[in-house]
């Protein structure tokens, strides 16, 4: 069964995030706490949504996402941040069910597209997504400002004449 995540799922979601970090070969990279997840998903200023796959009352998978916007299409979209299924439940259709439910949510919102990133070395994931009809954006590369670089750029803006601080 796929359903929207509920506040009581936060511990299971935290476990899935940590499982994903293991799968992506970065087991010590997770800094987010269960409280961070709770605020992001269920707080007054929630910034993300989450669907869960549940079997016998146990959360075995999740699709964590947020809304995007395409200026070219003039419509919203959905960015899938994390799709993860517990290893012992993989191959049973939970990932597909989560993506189908997320595609439906995107469509209900008038979404023009559903997008995500995949690690280049993750051939099983790439094959799974291709089988669903997804294709990589070969001409695009993801860029990131993080930690010190983000702080430095924000600091320059905050100190600039006429800067709004936003």
Do 78 and 67 touch, CB atoms closer than 8 A?
Answer: yes
69 noted as active-site residue: no
| Planar angle of CA 141, 99, 70, nearest 5 degrees | 45
- Answer for the pair 2, 62: CB distance below 8 angstroms, yes or no: no
Closest CA to 24 of 65, 90, 83: 83
Query: For residues 58-79, b (16+ Cβ closer than 10 Å) or e, as one string?
Result: ebbbbbbbeebeeeeeeeebbb
Is the Cβ–Cβ distance between 91 and 54 less than 8 Å? no
Q: Considering 54, 93, 129, 149, which one is annotated as catalytic?
A: 129
| CA–CA distances in Å: residue 45 to residues 36, 39, 40, 41 | 12, 8, 7, 9
Active site residues: 129
């Amino acid at each position: 069964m796929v359903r929207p995540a509920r506040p009581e799922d936060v511990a299971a979601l935290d476990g899935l995030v940590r499982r994903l970090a293991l799968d992506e070969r970065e087991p010590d990279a997770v800094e987010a706490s269960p409280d961070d997840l709770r605020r992001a998903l269920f707080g007054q200023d929630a910034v993300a949504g989450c669907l869960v796959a549940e079997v016998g009352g146990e959360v075995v998978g999740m699709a964590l996402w947020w809304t995007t916007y395409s200026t070219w299409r003039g419509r919203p979209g959905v960015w899938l941040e994390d799709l993860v299924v517990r290893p012992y439940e993989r191959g049973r259709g939970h990932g597909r069910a989560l993506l189908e439910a997320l595609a439906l949510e995107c469509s209900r919102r008038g979404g023009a597209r559903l997008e995500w990133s995949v690690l280049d070395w993750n051939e099983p994931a790439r094959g799974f997504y291709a089988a669903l009809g997804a294709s990589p954006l070969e001409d695009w590369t993801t860029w990131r400002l993080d930690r010190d670089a983000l702080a430095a750029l924000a600091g320059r803006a905050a100190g600039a004449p006429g800067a709004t601080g936003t």
